[in-house]
Amino acid sequence: MCLRRKDIRLFLLGLGIGLLLSFLIEPWFWTLLLAARIPAYILLRRKLRVERLRSACKNQQGVKHMELVFEEQTIEYLRRTLCKSTSQELTQELIVPDSYPDCARVVFTGGSCAMRGKECRDGSVIVTGGVRAGLLYVPEDGAEARALECYLPFAIREDDPAATAQMYLMASCRVKSADARLINSRKILVRVGLVCELTGYENASQTVKTLKDAPAYLQTKPQSYRCTLPREYAEKPFSMTEDIELSGQEAAMQTIVQYWLSPIVTDKKLMGNKAVCKGMLFLKVLYLASDGTPETCVRQIPFSQYCELRGDYADDEWIAAVEITGSELEVSNTEDEQAKLLLSVSLLLQCTAMQTTQLTLTSDAYTTRGTFEPEWSELQLPCVLDMAKTSGTLRGSVPKQARAVLDSTLYLDAAAAQKEDGGVKFTVPASVNILYLDEEGQLQSAIVRDQVTASVPAGPCASCTAAVSGLQEGFAAPSGGGIDVRYDVGFSVCCRCDEALRTLTGGTIEDTGSAPEQFCVVVKTNPKTQSLWDLAKAYRTSEAAIAQANGITTGEAEQGELLLIPM
Protein backbone atom coordinates (compact mmCIF):
# COMPACT_ATOMS: atom_id res chain seq x y z
CA MET A 1 0.00 0.00 0.00
CA CYS A 2 1.37 3.41 -1.01
CA LEU A 3 0.52 6.13 1.49
CA ARG A 4 0.09 9.74 0.47
CA ARG A 5 1.39 12.71 2.42
CA LYS A 6 -2.05 13.42 3.82
CA ASP A 7 -2.36 9.83 5.08
CA ILE A 8 1.09 10.03 6.72
CA ARG A 9 0.10 13.26 8.45
CA LEU A 10 -3.02 11.63 9.82
CA PHE A 11 -0.96 8.65 11.07
CA LEU A 12 1.56 10.90 12.81
CA LEU A 13 -1.29 12.95 14.31
CA GLY A 14 -2.88 9.81 15.77
CA LEU A 15 0.45 8.58 17.10
CA GLY A 16 1.08 11.93 18.76
CA ILE A 17 -2.31 11.87 20.46
CA GLY A 18 -1.60 8.35 21.69
CA LEU A 19 1.77 9.35 23.19
CA LEU A 20 0.14 12.33 24.89
CA LEU A 21 -2.46 10.10 26.51
CA SER A 22 0.20 7.65 27.62
CA PHE A 23 2.09 10.38 29.44
CA LEU A 24 -1.02 11.69 31.10
CA ILE A 25 -2.78 8.56 32.26
CA GLU A 26 -0.21 5.96 31.34
CA PRO A 27 -2.68 3.33 29.98
CA TRP A 28 -0.62 1.70 27.23
CA PHE A 29 -3.71 -0.17 26.12
CA TRP A 30 -5.45 2.97 24.79
CA THR A 31 -2.33 4.10 23.01
CA LEU A 32 -1.89 0.85 21.16
CA LEU A 33 -5.66 0.77 20.29
CA LEU A 34 -5.61 4.30 18.81
CA ALA A 35 -2.52 3.54 16.77
CA ALA A 36 -4.18 0.42 15.33
CA ARG A 37 -7.42 2.30 14.28
CA ILE A 38 -5.62 4.99 12.26
CA PRO A 39 -4.54 2.69 9.37
CA ALA A 40 -8.09 1.28 9.20
CA TYR A 41 -9.45 4.83 8.94
CA ILE A 42 -7.00 5.61 6.14
CA LEU A 43 -8.04 2.52 4.20
CA LEU A 44 -11.74 3.44 4.55
CA ARG A 45 -11.15 6.92 3.12
CA ARG A 46 -9.29 5.46 0.19
CA LYS A 47 -12.11 3.00 -0.55
CA LEU A 48 -14.85 5.64 -0.47
CA ARG A 49 -12.87 7.89 -2.79
CA VAL A 50 -12.37 5.10 -5.32
CA GLU A 51 -16.11 4.29 -5.26
CA ARG A 52 -17.01 7.92 -5.92
CA LEU A 53 -14.64 8.09 -8.90
CA ARG A 54 -16.05 4.88 -10.35
CA SER A 55 -19.64 6.15 -9.94
CA ALA A 56 -18.81 9.44 -11.67
CA CYS A 57 -17.16 7.64 -14.58
CA LYS A 58 -20.15 5.35 -14.92
CA ASN A 59 -22.58 8.30 -14.98
CA GLN A 60 -20.41 10.15 -17.50
CA GLN A 61 -20.39 7.15 -19.80
CA GLY A 62 -24.22 6.88 -19.58
CA VAL A 63 -24.92 10.49 -20.79
CA LYS A 64 -25.39 10.82 -24.58
CA HIS A 65 -24.66 14.16 -26.21
CA MET A 66 -26.59 14.69 -29.43
CA GLU A 67 -26.28 17.56 -31.88
CA LEU A 68 -29.43 18.17 -33.90
CA VAL A 69 -29.03 17.73 -37.66
CA PHE A 70 -30.75 20.01 -40.20
CA GLU A 71 -31.24 20.07 -43.93
CA GLU A 72 -30.49 23.46 -45.46
CA GLN A 73 -32.50 24.94 -48.31
CA THR A 74 -31.41 28.16 -50.00
CA ILE A 75 -34.26 30.28 -51.37
CA GLU A 76 -33.37 32.91 -53.93
CA TYR A 77 -35.85 35.74 -54.39
CA LEU A 78 -36.24 39.44 -55.10
CA ARG A 79 -36.40 41.65 -52.04
CA ARG A 80 -38.48 44.79 -52.43
CA THR A 81 -36.26 47.70 -51.44
CA LEU A 82 -38.28 50.58 -52.85
CA CYS A 83 -42.03 51.19 -52.93
CA LYS A 84 -42.95 54.84 -53.39
CA SER A 85 -45.14 57.18 -55.37
CA THR A 86 -43.89 60.65 -56.18
CA SER A 87 -45.66 63.61 -57.77
CA GLN A 88 -44.58 66.51 -59.88
CA GLU A 89 -46.39 69.54 -61.29
CA LEU A 90 -45.47 70.62 -64.80
CA THR A 91 -46.21 74.11 -66.10
CA GLN A 92 -45.70 75.79 -69.42
CA GLU A 93 -46.75 79.10 -70.94
CA LEU A 94 -48.37 78.52 -74.31
CA ILE A 95 -48.36 81.37 -76.82
CA VAL A 96 -51.32 81.59 -79.19
CA PRO A 97 -49.99 81.55 -82.77
CA ASP A 98 -50.23 84.77 -84.71
CA SER A 99 -52.57 83.19 -87.27
CA TYR A 100 -55.08 82.30 -84.50
CA PRO A 101 -57.64 84.75 -83.06
CA ASP A 102 -57.43 86.02 -79.50
CA CYS A 103 -58.49 83.64 -76.76
CA ALA A 104 -61.60 84.43 -74.75
CA ARG A 105 -61.65 81.35 -72.52
CA VAL A 106 -60.20 77.85 -72.35
CA VAL A 107 -62.91 75.16 -72.42
CA PHE A 108 -60.82 72.01 -72.42
CA THR A 109 -57.42 70.77 -71.22
CA GLY A 110 -56.22 67.19 -71.45
CA GLY A 111 -52.93 65.38 -71.04
CA SER A 112 -51.39 61.98 -71.74
CA CYS A 113 -48.04 60.73 -70.49
CA ALA A 114 -45.20 58.74 -72.05
CA MET A 115 -42.31 57.33 -70.00
CA ARG A 116 -39.16 57.64 -72.10
CA GLY A 117 -36.62 56.09 -69.77
CA LYS A 118 -35.62 55.10 -66.25
CA GLU A 119 -32.30 54.78 -64.45
CA CYS A 120 -31.18 53.38 -61.11
CA ARG A 121 -28.26 54.89 -59.23
CA ASP A 122 -26.79 54.41 -55.79
CA GLY A 123 -29.10 56.47 -53.58
CA SER A 124 -31.60 57.60 -56.23
CA VAL A 125 -33.75 56.70 -59.23
CA ILE A 126 -34.57 58.87 -62.23
CA VAL A 127 -37.58 58.55 -64.53
CA THR A 128 -37.84 60.70 -67.66
CA GLY A 129 -40.57 61.28 -70.20
CA GLY A 130 -43.05 63.83 -71.39
CA VAL A 131 -46.70 64.85 -71.39
CA ARG A 132 -48.60 65.81 -74.50
CA ALA A 133 -51.20 68.40 -73.51
CA GLY A 134 -54.08 69.46 -75.77
CA LEU A 135 -56.23 72.57 -75.34
CA LEU A 136 -59.43 73.88 -76.82
CA TYR A 137 -60.32 77.54 -76.56
CA VAL A 138 -63.15 79.79 -77.68
CA PRO A 139 -62.01 82.94 -79.57
CA GLU A 140 -63.10 86.43 -78.57
CA ASP A 141 -64.72 87.00 -81.95
CA GLY A 142 -67.12 84.09 -81.35
CA ALA A 143 -65.68 82.00 -84.17
CA GLU A 144 -65.39 78.21 -83.99
CA ALA A 145 -63.17 76.69 -81.28
CA ARG A 146 -59.44 76.38 -81.89
CA ALA A 147 -57.08 73.61 -80.78
CA LEU A 148 -53.59 74.06 -79.36
CA GLU A 149 -51.03 71.57 -78.13
CA CYS A 150 -47.76 71.59 -76.21
CA TYR A 151 -45.21 69.09 -74.94
CA LEU A 152 -44.06 69.18 -71.32
CA PRO A 153 -40.92 67.12 -70.63
CA PHE A 154 -40.27 65.80 -67.13
CA ALA A 155 -37.47 64.20 -65.14
CA ILE A 156 -38.49 62.78 -61.78
CA ARG A 157 -35.68 62.09 -59.32
CA GLU A 158 -36.44 60.18 -56.13
CA ASP A 159 -33.67 60.05 -53.54
CA ASP A 160 -33.66 56.97 -51.34
CA PRO A 161 -30.73 55.30 -49.52
CA ALA A 162 -32.15 51.88 -50.39
CA ALA A 163 -31.74 52.50 -54.13
CA THR A 164 -28.74 50.89 -55.81
CA ALA A 165 -27.35 50.82 -59.33
CA GLN A 166 -28.06 47.06 -59.49
CA MET A 167 -31.73 47.45 -58.53
CA TYR A 168 -34.54 46.36 -60.84
CA LEU A 169 -37.05 49.18 -61.23
CA MET A 170 -40.70 48.84 -62.21
CA ALA A 171 -42.14 52.29 -62.96
CA SER A 172 -45.57 53.57 -63.93
CA CYS A 173 -46.36 57.20 -64.78
CA ARG A 174 -49.69 58.86 -65.47
CA VAL A 175 -51.35 62.27 -65.53
CA LYS A 176 -53.34 62.96 -62.36
CA SER A 177 -54.72 66.40 -63.29
CA ALA A 178 -54.77 68.82 -66.20
CA ASP A 179 -56.03 72.38 -66.46
CA ALA A 180 -55.16 75.73 -67.99
CA ARG A 181 -55.49 79.37 -66.97
CA LEU A 182 -55.74 82.35 -69.26
CA ILE A 183 -53.00 84.90 -68.57
CA ASN A 184 -54.08 87.19 -71.39
CA SER A 185 -55.69 86.79 -74.76
CA ARG A 186 -52.40 85.61 -76.32
CA LYS A 187 -50.89 83.61 -73.47
CA ILE A 188 -52.16 80.52 -71.62
CA LEU A 189 -50.62 78.83 -68.58
CA VAL A 190 -50.88 75.05 -68.85
CA ARG A 191 -50.62 72.99 -65.64
CA VAL A 192 -50.34 69.20 -65.55
CA GLY A 193 -50.04 67.07 -62.42
CA LEU A 194 -47.98 63.91 -62.78
CA VAL A 195 -47.69 60.88 -60.49
CA CYS A 196 -45.04 58.19 -60.80
CA GLU A 197 -45.23 54.89 -58.89
CA LEU A 198 -41.88 53.18 -58.28
CA THR A 199 -41.15 49.62 -57.14
CA GLY A 200 -37.55 48.46 -56.80
CA TYR A 201 -36.18 44.95 -56.29
CA GLU A 202 -32.75 43.50 -55.63
CA ASN A 203 -31.47 39.94 -55.61
CA ALA A 204 -31.48 38.25 -52.19
CA SER A 205 -31.28 34.77 -50.70
CA GLN A 206 -32.33 33.12 -47.44
CA THR A 207 -31.25 29.79 -45.92
CA VAL A 208 -34.05 27.76 -44.34
CA LYS A 209 -33.21 24.86 -41.99
CA THR A 210 -35.44 21.78 -41.66
CA LEU A 211 -34.96 19.30 -38.79
CA LYS A 212 -33.77 15.87 -39.91
CA ASP A 213 -33.75 12.45 -38.09
CA ALA A 214 -34.93 13.77 -34.72
CA PRO A 215 -35.02 11.24 -31.83
CA ALA A 216 -38.41 9.88 -30.77
CA TYR A 217 -38.32 11.59 -27.39
CA LEU A 218 -37.89 15.03 -29.03
CA GLN A 219 -41.35 16.48 -29.50
CA THR A 220 -41.58 19.04 -32.32
CA LYS A 221 -44.30 21.38 -33.53
CA PRO A 222 -43.94 21.77 -37.30
CA GLN A 223 -45.66 24.64 -39.13
CA SER A 224 -46.17 24.63 -42.89
CA TYR A 225 -46.24 27.88 -44.86
CA ARG A 226 -47.12 28.42 -48.50
CA CYS A 227 -44.71 31.19 -49.36
CA THR A 228 -45.02 33.07 -52.66
CA LEU A 229 -42.01 35.22 -53.42
CA PRO A 230 -41.00 37.45 -56.34
CA ARG A 231 -38.26 35.48 -58.09
CA GLU A 232 -37.37 37.31 -61.27
CA TYR A 233 -37.82 40.63 -63.05
CA ALA A 234 -37.70 41.13 -66.80
CA GLU A 235 -38.89 43.68 -69.33
CA LYS A 236 -39.33 43.91 -73.06
CA PRO A 237 -39.98 46.88 -75.33
CA PHE A 238 -42.35 46.38 -78.25
CA SER A 239 -44.27 48.50 -80.72
CA MET A 240 -47.62 48.57 -82.47
CA THR A 241 -48.75 50.23 -85.68
CA GLU A 242 -52.36 50.38 -86.71
CA ASP A 243 -54.34 51.94 -89.55
CA ILE A 244 -57.77 52.73 -88.09
CA GLU A 245 -60.49 53.32 -90.66
CA LEU A 246 -62.96 56.10 -89.97
CA SER A 247 -66.56 55.86 -91.00
CA GLY A 248 -69.70 57.96 -90.84
CA GLN A 249 -69.32 61.19 -88.94
CA GLU A 250 -65.76 60.25 -87.97
CA ALA A 251 -64.72 60.69 -91.61
CA ALA A 252 -65.11 64.46 -91.11
CA MET A 253 -62.18 64.48 -88.63
CA GLN A 254 -59.99 67.49 -89.33
CA THR A 255 -57.91 68.35 -86.25
CA ILE A 256 -56.87 66.15 -83.34
CA VAL A 257 -57.21 68.07 -80.06
CA GLN A 258 -56.02 65.33 -77.71
CA TYR A 259 -55.75 61.53 -77.63
CA TRP A 260 -55.31 59.07 -74.80
CA LEU A 261 -53.81 55.58 -74.87
CA SER A 262 -54.48 53.10 -72.08
CA PRO A 263 -53.07 49.53 -72.25
CA ILE A 264 -55.02 47.04 -70.11
CA VAL A 265 -53.79 43.46 -69.55
CA THR A 266 -56.79 41.11 -69.68
CA ASP A 267 -55.06 37.72 -69.47
CA LYS A 268 -51.59 36.59 -68.39
CA LYS A 269 -49.82 33.31 -67.79
CA LEU A 270 -46.37 31.90 -67.09
CA MET A 271 -45.43 29.16 -69.53
CA GLY A 272 -42.00 27.66 -68.91
CA ASN A 273 -39.51 30.49 -69.37
CA LYS A 274 -42.01 32.90 -70.94
CA ALA A 275 -44.40 35.41 -69.39
CA VAL A 276 -47.27 35.70 -71.87
CA CYS A 277 -49.96 38.36 -71.74
CA LYS A 278 -52.92 39.51 -73.79
CA GLY A 279 -54.72 42.79 -73.54
CA MET A 280 -56.45 45.75 -75.12
CA LEU A 281 -55.04 49.12 -76.06
CA PHE A 282 -57.83 51.64 -75.55
CA LEU A 283 -57.63 54.70 -77.79
CA LYS A 284 -59.81 57.75 -77.32
CA VAL A 285 -59.51 60.77 -79.62
CA LEU A 286 -61.02 64.21 -79.10
CA TYR A 287 -61.09 65.98 -82.44
CA LEU A 288 -62.64 68.88 -84.32
CA ALA A 289 -64.87 67.96 -87.22
CA SER A 290 -64.94 69.89 -90.46
CA ASP A 291 -67.65 72.19 -89.08
CA GLY A 292 -65.59 72.95 -85.93
CA THR A 293 -67.68 70.79 -83.59
CA PRO A 294 -65.76 68.75 -81.00
CA GLU A 295 -66.35 65.00 -81.29
CA THR A 296 -64.83 61.85 -79.82
CA CYS A 297 -63.69 58.62 -81.40
CA VAL A 298 -63.02 55.42 -79.40
CA ARG A 299 -61.25 52.24 -80.50
CA GLN A 300 -60.01 49.03 -78.86
CA ILE A 301 -56.91 47.44 -80.34
CA PRO A 302 -55.96 43.93 -79.14
CA PHE A 303 -52.34 43.04 -78.44
CA SER A 304 -50.40 40.02 -77.24
CA GLN A 305 -46.80 39.87 -76.10
CA TYR A 306 -44.36 37.71 -74.17
CA CYS A 307 -41.22 38.30 -72.16
CA GLU A 308 -38.44 35.74 -71.80
CA LEU A 309 -37.34 34.73 -68.29
CA ARG A 310 -34.25 32.95 -67.00
CA GLY A 311 -36.12 30.37 -64.90
CA ASP A 312 -38.91 27.92 -65.64
CA TYR A 313 -42.35 28.40 -64.11
CA ALA A 314 -45.61 26.49 -64.14
CA ASP A 315 -48.98 27.91 -63.07
CA ASP A 316 -47.32 30.65 -61.02
CA GLU A 317 -48.43 34.25 -60.62
CA TRP A 318 -46.74 37.29 -62.12
CA ILE A 319 -47.23 41.02 -62.05
CA ALA A 320 -47.56 42.73 -65.42
CA ALA A 321 -47.31 46.43 -66.16
CA VAL A 322 -47.44 47.87 -69.67
CA GLU A 323 -46.25 51.45 -70.09
CA ILE A 324 -46.52 53.81 -73.05
CA THR A 325 -43.03 55.02 -73.99
CA GLY A 326 -43.95 56.97 -77.13
CA SER A 327 -46.78 57.50 -79.61
CA GLU A 328 -47.78 59.29 -82.79
CA LEU A 329 -51.26 59.77 -84.23
CA GLU A 330 -52.25 61.56 -87.39
CA VAL A 331 -55.22 61.79 -89.71
CA SER A 332 -54.92 60.55 -93.26
CA ASN A 333 -57.71 62.08 -95.29
CA THR A 334 -57.19 61.89 -99.02
CA GLU A 335 -59.57 61.80 -101.96
CA ASP A 336 -58.31 58.41 -103.18
CA GLU A 337 -58.56 56.57 -99.85
CA GLN A 338 -61.02 56.31 -97.03
CA ALA A 339 -60.20 58.54 -94.06
CA LYS A 340 -58.13 56.77 -91.43
CA LEU A 341 -56.03 57.28 -88.35
CA LEU A 342 -52.38 56.28 -88.52
CA LEU A 343 -51.28 55.13 -85.05
CA SER A 344 -47.77 54.21 -83.97
CA VAL A 345 -47.13 53.25 -80.33
CA SER A 346 -44.03 52.18 -78.41
CA LEU A 347 -44.63 50.21 -75.23
CA LEU A 348 -42.66 48.55 -72.44
CA LEU A 349 -43.77 45.27 -70.88
CA GLN A 350 -42.54 44.97 -67.28
CA CYS A 351 -43.03 41.67 -65.49
CA THR A 352 -42.21 40.29 -62.05
CA ALA A 353 -42.47 36.50 -61.87
CA MET A 354 -43.66 34.89 -58.62
CA GLN A 355 -42.97 31.37 -57.43
CA THR A 356 -44.55 29.44 -54.58
CA THR A 357 -42.43 27.41 -52.16
CA GLN A 358 -43.73 25.13 -49.40
CA LEU A 359 -41.81 25.78 -46.17
CA THR A 360 -41.90 23.60 -43.05
CA LEU A 361 -40.54 25.30 -39.93
CA THR A 362 -40.22 23.98 -36.38
CA SER A 363 -41.97 26.61 -34.29
CA ASP A 364 -41.57 24.84 -30.89
CA ALA A 365 -39.81 21.77 -29.43
CA TYR A 366 -39.08 20.00 -26.13
CA THR A 367 -37.85 16.61 -24.88
CA THR A 368 -39.65 14.10 -22.67
CA ARG A 369 -36.35 13.15 -21.02
CA GLY A 370 -32.85 14.54 -20.68
CA THR A 371 -31.80 18.15 -21.17
CA PHE A 372 -32.54 20.15 -24.33
CA GLU A 373 -30.79 23.39 -25.24
CA PRO A 374 -32.44 24.76 -28.42
CA GLU A 375 -31.21 27.52 -30.71
CA TRP A 376 -33.91 29.71 -32.21
CA SER A 377 -33.78 32.16 -35.10
CA GLU A 378 -36.23 34.50 -36.78
CA LEU A 379 -36.96 34.02 -40.47
CA GLN A 380 -38.37 37.00 -42.32
CA LEU A 381 -39.38 36.46 -45.93
CA PRO A 382 -41.53 39.01 -47.81
CA CYS A 383 -44.11 36.40 -48.79
CA VAL A 384 -46.98 37.50 -51.00
CA LEU A 385 -50.14 36.55 -49.15
CA ASP A 386 -52.69 37.51 -51.75
CA MET A 387 -53.07 39.22 -55.12
CA ALA A 388 -56.61 40.41 -55.63
CA LYS A 389 -58.61 42.77 -57.80
CA THR A 390 -61.38 45.00 -56.57
CA SER A 391 -63.03 48.19 -57.67
CA GLY A 392 -64.47 51.43 -56.43
CA THR A 393 -66.80 53.98 -57.99
CA LEU A 394 -66.52 57.72 -58.42
CA ARG A 395 -69.90 59.42 -58.27
CA GLY A 396 -70.46 63.13 -58.61
CA SER A 397 -72.50 65.81 -60.28
CA VAL A 398 -72.13 69.27 -61.78
CA PRO A 399 -74.97 71.73 -61.09
CA LYS A 400 -74.90 72.98 -64.68
CA GLN A 401 -77.64 72.49 -67.23
CA ALA A 402 -76.24 70.82 -70.34
CA ARG A 403 -77.62 70.05 -73.75
CA ALA A 404 -74.96 67.41 -74.41
CA VAL A 405 -71.70 66.13 -72.93
CA LEU A 406 -69.01 66.00 -75.62
CA ASP A 407 -66.18 64.42 -73.62
CA SER A 408 -65.23 63.37 -70.10
CA THR A 409 -61.85 62.07 -68.95
CA LEU A 410 -60.88 60.45 -65.64
CA TYR A 411 -57.55 61.24 -63.94
CA LEU A 412 -56.27 59.30 -60.92
CA ASP A 413 -53.69 60.06 -58.25
CA ALA A 414 -51.76 57.44 -56.22
CA ALA A 415 -53.66 55.22 -53.77
CA ALA A 416 -53.06 55.62 -50.03
CA ALA A 417 -53.57 52.63 -47.71
CA GLN A 418 -55.04 52.78 -44.21
CA LYS A 419 -55.52 49.78 -41.92
CA GLU A 420 -58.96 49.18 -40.51
CA ASP A 421 -60.64 46.39 -38.58
CA GLY A 422 -60.08 43.17 -40.48
CA GLY A 423 -58.57 44.74 -43.58
CA VAL A 424 -57.07 47.66 -45.48
CA LYS A 425 -58.89 50.63 -46.99
CA PHE A 426 -57.47 52.32 -50.10
CA THR A 427 -58.27 55.90 -51.01
CA VAL A 428 -57.32 57.55 -54.30
CA PRO A 429 -58.05 61.19 -55.21
CA ALA A 430 -59.71 61.44 -58.61
CA SER A 431 -60.94 64.13 -61.00
CA VAL A 432 -63.05 64.15 -64.16
CA ASN A 433 -62.63 66.87 -66.80
CA ILE A 434 -65.92 67.49 -68.66
CA LEU A 435 -66.49 69.27 -71.98
CA TYR A 436 -70.15 70.01 -72.69
CA LEU A 437 -72.62 72.23 -74.54
CA ASP A 438 -74.82 74.41 -72.38
CA GLU A 439 -78.47 75.10 -73.10
CA GLU A 440 -77.49 77.89 -75.52
CA GLY A 441 -75.14 75.59 -77.42
CA GLN A 442 -71.98 77.21 -76.12
CA LEU A 443 -68.90 75.17 -75.24
CA GLN A 444 -68.29 74.95 -71.51
CA SER A 445 -66.03 72.99 -69.16
CA ALA A 446 -66.28 71.63 -65.63
CA ILE A 447 -64.16 69.52 -63.28
CA VAL A 448 -65.50 67.04 -60.72
CA ARG A 449 -63.11 66.16 -57.89
CA ASP A 450 -63.69 63.42 -55.34
CA GLN A 451 -62.13 60.35 -53.75
CA VAL A 452 -62.59 56.71 -54.68
CA THR A 453 -62.32 54.07 -51.96
CA ALA A 454 -62.04 50.28 -51.90
CA SER A 455 -61.38 47.79 -49.08
CA VAL A 456 -59.84 44.31 -48.98
CA PRO A 457 -59.60 41.86 -46.06
CA ALA A 458 -56.10 41.54 -44.59
CA GLY A 459 -54.43 40.36 -41.40
CA PRO A 460 -52.81 42.71 -38.88
CA CYS A 461 -49.29 41.83 -40.06
CA ALA A 462 -50.03 42.31 -43.77
CA SER A 463 -48.57 45.16 -45.79
CA CYS A 464 -50.76 46.02 -48.79
CA THR A 465 -50.23 48.18 -51.86
CA ALA A 466 -52.55 48.89 -54.77
CA ALA A 467 -52.09 49.93 -58.38
CA VAL A 468 -55.10 51.83 -59.75
CA SER A 469 -56.43 52.17 -63.26
CA GLY A 470 -59.47 53.74 -64.81
CA LEU A 471 -61.79 51.06 -66.12
CA GLN A 472 -63.57 51.74 -69.37
CA GLU A 473 -66.93 51.72 -67.64
CA GLY A 474 -67.76 55.37 -66.99
CA PHE A 475 -69.82 58.27 -68.22
CA ALA A 476 -70.89 61.84 -67.71
CA ALA A 477 -74.40 62.61 -68.89
CA PRO A 478 -76.97 65.43 -68.57
CA SER A 479 -79.71 64.97 -65.99
CA GLY A 480 -82.50 67.00 -64.51
CA GLY A 481 -80.23 68.50 -61.85
CA GLY A 482 -77.16 69.06 -64.04
CA ILE A 483 -74.49 66.58 -65.18
CA ASP A 484 -74.17 63.23 -63.43
CA VAL A 485 -70.75 61.56 -63.36
CA ARG A 486 -69.92 57.94 -62.68
CA TYR A 487 -66.62 56.15 -63.26
CA ASP A 488 -65.39 52.77 -62.03
CA VAL A 489 -61.80 52.50 -60.80
CA GLY A 490 -59.87 49.21 -60.66
CA PHE A 491 -57.58 48.34 -57.75
CA SER A 492 -54.90 45.65 -58.20
CA VAL A 493 -53.98 44.80 -54.61
CA CYS A 494 -50.88 42.94 -53.46
CA CYS A 495 -50.62 41.97 -49.78
CA ARG A 496 -47.30 40.88 -48.27
CA CYS A 497 -46.39 39.44 -44.88
CA ASP A 498 -44.09 41.48 -42.62
CA GLU A 499 -44.15 39.05 -39.70
CA ALA A 500 -40.93 37.33 -38.50
CA LEU A 501 -41.34 33.56 -38.08
CA ARG A 502 -39.55 31.79 -35.21
CA THR A 503 -37.91 28.53 -36.19
CA LEU A 504 -35.54 25.97 -34.66
CA THR A 505 -32.10 26.23 -36.28
CA GLY A 506 -29.86 24.29 -33.85
CA GLY A 507 -29.59 22.66 -30.45
CA THR A 508 -28.10 19.87 -28.33
CA ILE A 509 -29.67 17.10 -26.26
CA GLU A 510 -28.09 15.41 -23.21
CA ASP A 511 -29.85 12.09 -22.80
CA THR A 512 -29.23 10.23 -19.51
CA GLY A 513 -31.04 7.16 -20.75
CA SER A 514 -34.55 5.92 -20.16
CA ALA A 515 -35.97 6.10 -16.66
CA PRO A 516 -36.87 2.89 -14.76
CA GLU A 517 -40.21 1.39 -15.76
CA GLN A 518 -42.94 3.11 -13.79
CA PHE A 519 -46.56 4.10 -14.25
CA CYS A 520 -47.52 7.65 -13.33
CA VAL A 521 -50.74 9.48 -14.13
CA VAL A 522 -51.64 13.06 -13.22
CA VAL A 523 -55.35 13.68 -12.77
CA LYS A 524 -56.41 17.31 -13.12
CA THR A 525 -59.34 19.47 -14.07
CA ASN A 526 -58.47 21.67 -17.01
CA PRO A 527 -58.81 25.31 -15.82
CA LYS A 528 -59.12 26.73 -19.34
CA THR A 529 -59.32 25.65 -22.94
CA GLN A 530 -55.79 25.00 -24.12
CA SER A 531 -53.94 23.05 -26.77
CA LEU A 532 -52.70 19.52 -26.16
CA TRP A 533 -49.24 20.75 -27.18
CA ASP A 534 -49.08 23.18 -24.24
CA LEU A 535 -50.28 20.47 -21.83
CA ALA A 536 -47.81 17.90 -23.11
CA LYS A 537 -44.95 20.39 -22.98
CA ALA A 538 -45.76 21.35 -19.37
CA TYR A 539 -45.76 17.71 -18.20
CA ARG A 540 -42.99 16.52 -20.58
CA THR A 541 -45.15 13.93 -22.24
CA SER A 542 -46.57 13.67 -25.76
CA GLU A 543 -49.74 14.97 -27.39
CA ALA A 544 -50.56 11.45 -28.58
CA ALA A 545 -50.40 10.05 -25.04
CA ILE A 546 -52.82 12.67 -23.67
CA ALA A 547 -55.18 12.29 -26.65
CA GLN A 548 -55.25 8.50 -26.32
CA ALA A 549 -55.77 8.51 -22.55
CA ASN A 550 -58.70 10.93 -22.78
CA GLY A 551 -60.20 10.06 -26.16
CA ILE A 552 -59.59 13.54 -27.55
CA THR A 553 -59.81 13.78 -31.33
CA THR A 554 -59.17 17.51 -31.64
CA GLY A 555 -56.01 19.38 -30.76
CA GLU A 556 -57.54 21.11 -27.73
CA ALA A 557 -58.72 20.18 -24.24
CA GLU A 558 -61.91 21.95 -23.20
CA GLN A 559 -62.27 24.02 -20.05
CA GLY A 560 -63.48 22.04 -17.01
CA GLU A 561 -62.62 18.67 -18.57
CA LEU A 562 -61.14 16.02 -16.24
CA LEU A 563 -57.85 14.95 -17.79
CA LEU A 564 -55.60 11.94 -17.31
CA ILE A 565 -52.04 12.90 -18.18
CA PRO A 566 -49.71 9.88 -18.54
CA MET A 567 -46.07 10.60 -17.69
How would you write the pLDDT of the chain (567 residues) with one tens digit per residue? 444 555 555 555 655 665 565 555 555 554 454 455 455 545 545 554 655 555 544 444 556 788 999 999 899 999 999 999 999 999 999 999 999 999 999 999 999 999 999 999 999 999 999 999 999 999 998 889 999 999 999 999 999 999 999 999 999 999 999 999 999 999 999 999 999 999 999 999 999 999 988 888 899 999 888 889 999 999 999 999 999 999 878 878 889 999 999 999 999 999 999 999 999 999 999 999 988 899 999 999 999 999 999 999 987 888 999 999 999 999 988 777 788 999 999 999 999 999 988 888 999 999 988 889 999 999 888 888 888 899 999 999 999 899 999 999 999 999 999 998 889 999 999 999 999 999 999 999 999 999 999 999 988 888 899 999 986 678 899 988 899 999 999 999 999 887 788 999 999 998 776 554 445 677 778 788 888 999 889 888 888 888 888 888 888 888 888 888 887
Q: E strand or H helix at 563, and its extent?
A: strand 562-566
562 Cβ neighbours under 8 A, 6+ residues apart: 523, 524, 525, 526
DSSP reduced 3-state for 4 = coil
User: What phi and psi values does residue 10 have, to the nearest 5 degrees?
Assistant: -65, -40
Residue 475 CB contacts under 8 Å (≥ 6 apart), including other chains: 408, 485, 486, 487
Q: How far apart are CA 508 and CA 149, in angstroms?
A: 75
Partners of 371 in the beta sheet? Answer: 510
Other Cβ atoms within 10 Å of 57 Cβ, number: 10
Strand pairing report for 521-525 and 562-566: antiparallel
Cβ neighbours for 423, distance < 8 A, ≥ 6 positions apart: 455, 456, 457, 458
E-assigned strands of 213-293? 218-245, 253-289
Residue 430 and residue 238: Cα distance in Å, rounded? 30
Cα–Cα distance, 13 to 426 (Å, whole number): 94
Q: How far apart are CA 565 and CA 543, in angstroms?
A: 10
> Which strands, in side-by-side order, build the sheet including 218-245?
218-245, 340-367, 318-332
Alpha carbon distance 438, 423 (integer Å)? 44
**pTM, two decimal places:** 0.81
